[in-house]
């Protein structure tokens, strides 16, 4: 597998359709993120000062959307790091496999919508940063 870096993660502006009755943002399977979605989940009711994530995936890719409120998506490839701030439902962060991820600085009432290209597989997770660094050295 190709070694992934923080440069493989990017901010995406999602299609936004504005009308007199409100806005609509769509994410069509396979088109926006470049993968078909196998799993969707929400992260919400995050206590003040808490972060989520704190892991890497060996193969899974994600599209993370700020469905409500705002938060930061921090990524680290073992050499470089980047932080994306998203604050509207028409923005998303595309996360590549093989990067450490953390969601931080949630605003009150924030909701993160996560679309993944694989079902939940515990063996795909690296939950310890030192183990992640060892994994990256082996790539």
Domain ranges of the chain: 6-138
Considering only the top CATH level, what class is 6-138?
A: mainly beta
In whole angstroms, what is the distance from residue 29 CA to residue 2 CA? 24
Give the residue from 75, 55, 80, 59 showing the smallest Cα distance to 130. Answer: 55
- CA 62 to the chain's CA centroid: 5
Structure tokens, 63: 């599209």
Alpha carbon 39 to its chain centroid, in Å, reads 13
Six-digit token string for 45? 């009711």
Is residue 31 very low, low, confident or very high in pLDDT (cuts 50, 70, 90)?
A: confident
Indicate yes or no: pTM above 0.85: yes
Q: What is the pLDDT of residues 109-118, one digit of tens each?
A: 999 999 999 9
């Amino acid at each position: 597998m190709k070694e992934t870096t923080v440069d493989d993660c990017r901010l995406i502006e999602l299609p936004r359709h504005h009308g007199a009755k409100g806005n609509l943002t769509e994410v069509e399977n396979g088109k926006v993120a470049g993968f078909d979605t196998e799993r969707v989940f929400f992260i919400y009711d995050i206590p003040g000062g808490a972060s989520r994530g704190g892991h890497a995936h060996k193969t899974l890719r994600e599209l993370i959307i700020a469905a409500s409120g705002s938060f930061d998506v921090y990524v680290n490839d073992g050499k470089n790091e980047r932080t994306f701030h998203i604050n509207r439902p028409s923005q998303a962060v595309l996360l590549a496999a093989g990067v450490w991820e953390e969601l931080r600085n949630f605003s009150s009432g924030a909701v993160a919508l996560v679309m993944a290209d694989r079902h939940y597989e515990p063996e795909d997770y690296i939950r310890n940063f030192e183990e992640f660094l060892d994994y990256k050295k082996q790539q």
